[in-house]
Structure 1
């Protein structure tokens, strides 16, 4: 439906029955958007696209340059000139220009009033506008009722396609296809391109542009028109609506309906987001209760989990994904939101049930661990952690994250232990000789006993001072013997590798190692003595970390 009428339709109106088309017959399909009556034609720049010009022809018998230029601009939908007032007949040059540009040129008799022309045409335009508004409201009502009835995006898409006769593709914020309704066999879509006949469009790039600019995009491909509409609300993008059908099948009603539909989809996304936020909050609080062991019995925890759609009878582990070195609070909040979205999206793709809880420095994630023919629990949990870390590094390389992985447990009562382990792993990863960004609690094996000692209230300082207190102070030459010993252990007692890291000659390193043996009383070629020093070194690093 168009809210304008064509020149052909206007000429068939009773009020214009005496008007005569004398040139530009090829443009009778032009749409009349408004009627303008002018006595003297001077400033042609004020005339708008699609206007239908009615003039008495005053002055055109002597000075018609402006009018000739106007006829050739292809801006007007048509032009009507009275004969009998100032022009006895319409000049041939006007007819020639009108024919060249397919601009309907109409001769009006003096008996036909200005008001009759404008009234006849504008009444039709107004009637079409009212009809469009009525139909548009009806379509909008149909779509919003689907939202109220919780029919979901597929039902909304199906109804929208039926109302507009278009093939539809609903894209999510990242440009992935969420749902589609294909009415045309010649239209298909793959991971990167929208294909119409044999031509293609990079729909992901266009979808991203549509969302960034927050305005519709329109283009033609073969005999089809393709429209992109952003789906957004509250300054947030949710995706893009792509509608396609034949060029000559589009109407203003269909375009208006698509505009309404974009808003309806935004409402649906907002509704889903509100439900999801509530669900995530309840699940997050549930995870906090599990970590703090607030349930009196395991059966109570299992029952609570079922109500939240989470099966605690499966094997579970906890990841602690920690954001590193972000000082700005707004940057940290944005990074947390991005990390949260990425974790949810990828865990859903992996088909794992999960619960996420935001902590002060990152995310605590309880997730299902699966054991396969060639994969044990530990390998599976590390693989999942690796996927999240790799994707984050690819998308946001400037923001560093560390992933601590707790052990997997099948018992609900031990899940809090996995949380403690994951947090230890993320916090203490810098204490390892070979620093890693994905750390399983088992990687801290040398620290397990020391952590238990610290939790039991035993002094780590007393322990390491007894073993290597004589090495803590630098030598007279300012040599850091602890740093030297740490590098030596890190490189598995390899002289050349250790010397290279310390940027010293291997003879200098041997001198330092002899000094360490003399001060400590231990022999570095003794496995027992090395074990004592390594435990003391681990205790020292752990104590320094907590200080």
Structure 2
């Protein structure tokens, strides 16, 4: 029960609100009556304090200090019986209360403190008892709905019927995920504007907040944050909450929020199994769950339900959640990491389907906290969209993501090579356009490519091709090797080789003939020439 509701009761209608800026929606949990100056040190929260302010009759400056302490507690209100010890309140007292929005109430002279105290306390206990019973019944009703598999929309419709108000449920990214039947497009815009203007995602508060409808300039909107994952919250909006039914209390709302929390967690578990099914599609594309490759037409037939289709090209973009990548994905007990991963997947999937239809397929790679974007059409605005995803997730969910590109391929069975290229891009890729969180494939030169071979393989390959010219030690062999290298670089032209080395043509001819004797064959076949060039590169690296 709050101050506004208390003042509507006939028994307390004679209580007068003294200050203009009083917040009458402060909750009352108990009633206390005292004249002790240091009472603020001993009061429970949300107390309505009754007093004659006798201790402050000669120093209302101290009364201002009391009001500040009560507001910090917080306290619901201060009800003062004027005319007994204090005839009127100084302007500075009222200004202090208005500054804080703290309610000051005046108790009429014809009522004793004992009477008003017992009447208020008795009424409050009666209300609280009804609220507890109503909350238990509400909990039972919503629990039954959940166990019957009711959707979020059904839960919201039932809540709307109970409250007789418009109710809206919003996710941590500011997307409306449900409402009761009274919701219209104008309300949707209003709620989104309010969410972002207040930056609710930055406040990380579990305390209910009240706002005046910014469009209508009247009517209170109550916003109830409740636990989702980590510091992030879902939000229940209740419109025109200043006139809720009398038996609807914070305890009732709390039971409803628990029901929504349980329902959302249940939905995440269901979505996880959907993700596992989609992940099998990725394993099939990468040939990780079959001993033999499937032909393209059979692959298309099997995975058509996932959106795979014939295209002129395909390529993969990996989406890595940097914030979680070194953690294990626990399937038996979802922490905030697992819940965020599933939530982000669902959000990305809806947004990608809306903007790209089946030209982009989103596939989960659960164990590595990654998603795979399979591009199978033109993507002129993809990088702009990836920047949007990065900024939104970082600001609102505190999750950093990196996007890494693989090379384009023209065949379905080659998609796996684009995937492995994307993995390599993630590790050693290069940035483009100064976008630090997007990495493109960096083409390897011959040296980098051949470095992937083992030392024994390299030496064996080089000695097989170059014989004693692979690792020469004497000056004469080094001269012959250098001539061979220049000759190959000059496309086997004697004239060009002699010009580059400042040697006579006959000297070059002699050295090339000597090379052929050492190698045991003519240097006139393109395959052999390529092997010699590669061997020279590898031995020069050595």
Q: TM-score range by the shorter chain?
A: 0.5 to 0.7
Bigger shift: 62-71 or 231-240? 62-71
Alignment of 1:474-493 (within 5 A): none
The change in CA–CA distance for 1:355 and 1:183 in structure 2 (over 3 A counts) is closer
Cα distance in 1 for partners of 2:137, 2:209 equals 25
2:363 corresponding residue in structure 1: 356
Unaligned regions of 5+ residues in structure 2, if any?
Answer: 71-76, 95-103, 331-336, 433-437, 476-481, 490-495, 513-523
Cα distance in 1 for partners of 2:16, 2:5 equals 17
1:277 corresponding residue in structure 2: 272
1:223 corresponding residue in structure 2: 218
Unaligned regions of 5+ residues in structure 1, if any?
Answer: 14-20, 82-89, 370-378, 477-481, 490-509, 522-527
Alignment of 1:136-175 (within 5 A): 136-175=135-174
* Match among 18, 31, 36 for residue 32 of structure 2: 36
Q: Does 1:206 align with 2:202?
A: no
The change in CA–CA distance for 1:398 and 1:122 in structure 2 (over 3 A counts) is closer
1:493 corresponding residue in structure 2: none
1:365 corresponding residue in structure 2: 372
Alignment of 1:59-208 (within 5 A): 64-65=57-58, 78-79=79-80, 91=84, 94-97=86-89, 103-107=105-109, 114=114, 118-181=117-180, 183=182, 188-190=187-189, 194=191, 201=194, 203=196, 205-208=198-201
Cα distance in 1 for partners of 2:322, 2:149 equals 43
| SS of structure 1 residue aligned to 2:86 | helix
Q: Does 1:422 align with 2:419?
A: yes
Cα distance in 2 for partners of 1:242, 1:235 equals 21
| SS of structure 1 residue aligned to 2:173 | coil
Cα distance in 1 for partners of 2:3, 2:198 equals 33
The change in CA–CA distance for 1:255 and 1:459 in structure 2 (over 3 A counts) is same
Shift of the alpha carbon at 1:289? 4.5
1:239 corresponding residue in structure 2: 234
Alignment of 1:370-449 (within 5 A): 379-380=377-378, 386=383, 390=387, 401-405=403-407, 407-409=409-411, 415=413, 417-424=414-421, 426-427=423-424, 437-439=439-441
Cα distance in 2 for partners of 1:421, 1:297 equals 17
| SS of structure 2 residue aligned to 1:329 | coil
Cα distance in 1 for partners of 2:300, 2:461 equals 44
Query: Do the aligned residues in 1 keep the contact of 2:81 with 2:108 (CA within 8 Å)?
Result: yes
Query: Do the aligned residues in 1 keep the contact of 2:404 with 2:429 (CA within 8 Å)?
Result: no
Cα distance in 1 for partners of 2:429, 2:138 equals 64
Shift of the alpha carbon at 1:407? 2.9
Q: Does 1:260 align with 2:255?
A: yes
| SS of structure 1 residue aligned to 2:265 | helix
Shift of the alpha carbon at 1:542? 11
The change in CA–CA distance for 1:24 and 1:332 in structure 2 (over 3 A counts) is closer
Shift of the alpha carbon at 1:270? 1.3
TM-score using structure 1 length:
0.57
**Cα-Cα RMSD:** 6.5
| SS of structure 1 residue aligned to 2:224 | strand
Query: Do the aligned residues in 2 keep the contact of 1:320 with 1:363 (CA within 8 Å)?
Result: no
Deviations 1:366-404, CA, capped at 9 Å, x for gaps: 7473xxxxxxxxx53x66975676556667798755321
2:306 corresponding residue in structure 1: 310
The change in CA–CA distance for 1:142 and 1:314 in structure 2 (over 3 A counts) is farther
Shift of the alpha carbon at 1:10? 7.0
Cα distance in 1 for partners of 2:408, 2:258 equals 44
Cα distance in 1 for partners of 2:324, 2:31 equals 63
Query: Do the aligned residues in 1 keep the contact of 2:425 with 2:440 (CA within 8 Å)?
Result: no
Cα distance in 2 for partners of 1:468, 1:399 equals 51
